[in-house]
Amino acid sequence: MSDVNVSMSGNDVNVVVGPLQYFGSFYSTQDQTSAGANTANKMTPNTTDISNGVSIVSNSRITIANAGVYNIQFSAQLDKTDGGNDVVDIWLSKNGTNVANSNTQITLHSNDGKHVAAWNFFVNAAAGDYYELCWSSPDAAVFINYVASQSTPTRPATPSVILTVNKVG
């Protein structure tokens, strides 16, 4: 499927034909807490910035309307409220099934041990496929932290999760 863009300036006519772009930009304005130790949790972006052909369904499902290769990128503000060191696992699932070899482990150190998890997955999606970003820790005190806007100096809020999805092929 192609997009046709036509622009005119004086006697010149420019016609640009290219692929229709599918994308989505989403984020979360809330803390995301664990449902319990060693429990698979889903990252839940609750705000759509912009999107075309990509949506969030049922709070956590990154739903692709059109087939193609997509780049799913995210960042998550990991935090914890107790002492010691704790591992956090983050992985991708497709249509409710864990994607093989997609897990990464991060270790948070000590109380208030913050860490930003940020990476991407390339996926070959069929129309209607959905993906979820999953996470788990043996410590229920681990959470994904939202920080409201701050002052001195004035700065914007920090979403707990930022997610962007782009069709790349």
Rounded CA separation 83/91 (Å):
25
- The pTM of this model reads 0.88
3-state secondary structure of 66: coil
pLDDT at 155 over 60: yes
Q: What is the pLDDT of residue 1?
A: 44
Rounded CA separation 77/116 (Å):
5
Are 31 and 167 in contact, with CB atoms under 8 Å apart?
Answer: no
Q: What is the pLDDT of residue 5?
A: 56
